[in-house]
Amino acid sequence: MVILGSGTIVSQLAKAGLIDAYQIVVDPVVLGRGRTLFEGVEDRIALKRTATRAFGNGNVVLDYEPVA
């Protein structure tokens, strides 16, 4: 399953330990306000970076897996 742009669903699945991999796209823009990606997640989730891809437009894709 792929979830795009839903912090609420992501935080619920993350809290339940049901996410096998995270792919986060960093876009170099500062918004100043808004909701966080993991709003509602209270415990730390240890992640291991598995890949990084940088693009000419400044975007970076970061792949992570939860550490067991």
What is the tally of structural domains in the chain?
A: 1
- Reported pTM: 0.77
Taking only the tens place, the pLDDT of each residue in 36-65 is 777 778 888 899 999 999 999 999 999 999
Pairing of β 60-66 and β 22-26:
antiparallel
Give a yes or no: residue 1 inside a domain.
Answer: no
Could you list the residue range(s) of the whole structural domain that residue 55 is in? 7-29+38-66
Please write the tens of the pLDDT for every residue from 7-29.
678 888 888 888 899 898 998 88
In a domain, 44, yes or no: yes
